[in-house]
Amino acid sequence: MTNTQLVLWNIDLTLVDVARVTRAAYAEAFAKVAGRPLVHLPQMAGRTEPEVFFDALALNDADMSEASELLLEPFSAELAKSMQARRDDLTTQGQLMPGAADALKAAHNVAGTVQSVLTGTSRANALLKLTVFSLDGFLDLEVGGYGDEVYPKGTLLSVARDRASQKYGTAFDEANTVYIGDSPRDVAAAKTGGARSIAVASGRSTVTELRDAGPDAVLSDLTDSTALLRLLMP
């Protein structure tokens, strides 16, 4: 059957909550690369790893010269190492978001639906998080958009959509592309990149805050797969 819909998922606080482990790994990697402790962690919701890293440099009085851009690649490598070293902690100190696995499975079973991710985290860390929670089998991770590609999320969405269109021979556009995330920034990314948006109040934002951002729909969580499937219909 022809693929008729592309569903992109945010990962952190939409599908999994591994914030505690991520903060520890982030602090370790930042100290190694920036040469100073991470005292102040920037707001991470809806943002990419490069955006967070450069804000962290500023907030922690690290070098903000042009040379600071040269720190991004080694930081990303160190963060991936720190996350991998904490692989077992992801499941003991983190958790699946309520209903996430069933929601992914339900959408995966809809004929013509392609699922992938649009995430601020790097490809390596995204794969790690999804794999340890056995979510990767529901997703085509080749066509996703990842934070280490150094684009804002709105641009990443367009990139992911183009990748899916090329791979599946389907013209995925705003009408048949859906982005599911948990922050107003995710809603804004959908508007910028050209996708319908479903906001889930599983993260730091309330239902009211998400609704004010103007998504196509808002869910309190992912526990009602039937309700989600209704919203996914073009």
DSSP states of the chain: ----EEEEE--BTTTEE-HHHHHHHHHHHHHHHHSS----PPP-TT--HHHHHHHHHHHTT---SGGGGGGHHHHHHHHHHHHHHTHHHHHHH-EEPTTHHHHHHHHHTSTTEEEEEB-SS-HHHHHHHHHHTT-GGG--GGG-B-GGG---HHHHHHHHHHHHHHHHT----TTSEEEEESSHHHHHHHHHHT-EEEEETTSSS-HHHHHHT--SEEES-S--HHHHHHHH--
pLDDT of residue 187: 97
pLDDT of residue 160: 95
pLDDT of residue 65: 60
Show pLDDT as tens, one digit a residue, over the chain (234 residues): 467 899 999 999 999 999 999 989 988 998 898 888 888 877 777 678 888 888 888 878 776 565 677 888 898 999 999 999 999 999 999 999 999 999 999 999 999 999 999 999 999 999 999 999 999 999 999 999 998 886 788 999 999 999 999 999 999 999 999 999 999 999 999 999 999 999 999 999 999 999 999 999 999 999 999 999 999 976
Residue range 5-55, pLDDT digits in tens: 999 999 999 999 999 999 899 889 988 988 888 888 777 776 788 888 888
pLDDT of residue 102: 97
Average pLDDT over the chain reads: 91
pLDDT of residue 190: 96
pLDDT of residue 107: 96
